[in-house]
Amino acid sequence: MDPKDLIARRVAQEIEPGTLVNLGIGLPSLVAGYVPADMGVYFQSENGVIGLGARPPEGMEDPDLTDAGGGFVTAVPGAAAIDSAMSFGLIRGGHIDLTVLGALQVDSAGLLANWMIPGKLVPGMGGAMDLATGAKRVLVAMQHHTRGQSKIVETCDLPLTSAKPVDMIVTELAVFTLRDTGLHLHELQDGVTLDEVRAKTEAAFTS
């Protein structure tokens, strides 16, 4: 299985029935495809939709129905279009049960950096800062490395997204949770060893 799909499938296991969930752009958007429709989960997007479904079949895309990153999505029965004020009111008001965000880095204290790289052009911070701060639970879905470098670092050297730590990190190698003592290895992905995770993770963690 593709690493991104492996991550998305594992993240889907963290979603509880009847919850309001925000999916970030990129890898997190794949999660909707692994959540059964009968769970009563409503996916929210900060561009103004509650009730996002999975990506439509090729040729069935609707240019007026996209997620926050511009990717094509479907709408489930009961979906609603809302304005930006309502959308961010939900996020900032603490009404989002879970947000799934991508990351450039997460450090040993669970702090997230995902909105910019200094010196590189970015289209804007989007809703990342609001989501990382306002959601009841923050889960990071990302690949373990970028260009051979661990994305789970001892201390972020990129600008932080929020002073609030994330609750869980899911990569293609492992699942980490945050405890008072720092990062904790919650589980290994199938076929992955503890030694492999230690060798490929810059940050210290307990197991």
Residue type, 167: D
Contact between 119 and 36 under an 8 Å Cβ cutoff? The reply is no
Sign of CA dihedral 146, 193, 191, 32: negative
Catalytic residue among 14, 16, 46, 196: 46
Give the whole-angstrom CA distance, residue 46 versus residue 86. 9
Q: Is 46 known to be catalytic?
A: yes
Pairing status of strand 98-101 against strand 20-23: parallel
Give the whole-angstrom CA distance, residue 94 versus residue 114. 20
Question: Residue 16's CB: how many other CB atoms inside 10 A?
Answer: 12
Pairing status of strand 98-101 against strand 138-141: parallel
Active site residues: 46
